[in-house]
Amino acid sequence: MFVTFISKIISLAHLLTIQNISKAYGSIQALSNVSFEVPEGSVFGVLGPNGSGKTTLLGILMDVLIADSGSYSWLGGMPNADARKQIGSLLETPNFYHYMSAYNNLEITASIRQRGLSDRDAVLKQVGLYERKDSKFQTFSLGMKQRLAIGAALLGNPKVLVLDEPTNWLDPAGIAEIRELIRTLNRQGITIIIASHLLDEVEKVCTHVAILKRGQLLVNGPVNEALRQEDNIEVRANDMSALQQLLSAMPGIVNIRSNDGTLQLTCADNITTAAINEYCSSKGIVLSHLLLRKKSLETKFMELTNK
């Protein structure tokens, strides 16, 4: 019994487990053996260029599409019908009535979904629209409309939110609104899964990420590991040949590349410019140039997706 209890705790640490999911549309392979896990309590970004398979994956996870092969499990293996009651989703623009109030629109949504009719006040407060609950939908800004759409997904008090490109078509102010709302909802204990083609979105709101390209999973894990910035250090000396030979023997130097009379070094995390300068000096080589050149997350993402 104790072993069973421990096993259940471990399985619930991963709110969603995806195993070898594949999906093709004719000759187009939208997903190919995609596997990863979503930790409970995370903001998990499914990131990739347009056409990478993000929307197809979310459609499969929400039972809108059927995978050709593979499997997934929600909430520690809970039956899908039960799990769906604890998942709110926004996969496409909701059909709100422009001439009706936010409050009445949520009433219709709750009636259609058969859940959350008593949640409207709480949901409107969560998304910051309670003071405008009686305003017509047509008077809302784009950001407010999207907040109401997320509010509709929150009906029924779900443990999980699944959002497909939640900041699409929004202006900078609307994007900032939605990002702050996502952070707030996550602090309230909701696990959030976001599909996005925007690196900036993932960097600013996500704790974990899976990067797709043409249906292939390139990398996944915590954002600071999956998109780890590999800084380069540039060095020069009077005798470049001796410098290259020396640095080739230095522990922690991962790669050395010659470019326009400069050596560009890729180093382990513990190697600093000061450490390189001290090492060279101790071996009798004086550096005439020493520069740390930071690689941006955008550069890392472009390298991963070969764009």
CATH of the domain at 271: 3.30.70.100
Identify whether residues 277 and 150 lie together within a single domain. no
Q: To which H or E segment does residue 270 belong?
A: none
Identify whether residues 9 and 71 lie together within a single domain. yes
pTM of the model: 0.77
Token pair of 72 as six digits: 């997934």
Identify whether residues 38 and 164 lie together within a single domain. yes
The answer to whether residue 102 scores a pLDDT higher than 90 is yes
Domain final residue pick, 174, 200, 226: 226
pLDDT in tens, 23-76: 999 999 999 999 999 999 999 999 988 889 999 999 999 999 999 999 999 998
Q: What pLDDT was estimated at residue 92?
A: 79
Residue range 284-301: mean pLDDT, rounded: 79
Q: Give me the helix-helix angle, 142-154 and 172-187, nearest 10°.
A: 20
Which residues lie below 8 Å from residue 89, measured CB to CB, with a gap of 6+? 58, 62, 153, 161, 162, 163
**Cα dihedral 101, 105, 108, 109 in deg (nearest 10):** -160
Token pair of 174 as six digits: 């609307």
pLDDT in tens, 23-37: 999 999 999 999 999
Domain final residue pick, 226, 249, 277: 226
Domain final residue pick, 179, 203, 226: 226
Which residues lie below 8 Å from residue 60, measured CB to CB, with a gap of 6+? 21, 23, 31, 66, 67, 72
Total domains in the chain come to 2
Here the CATH number for the domain that contains residue 152 is 3.40.50.300
Contact 27, 41 (CB under 8 A): no
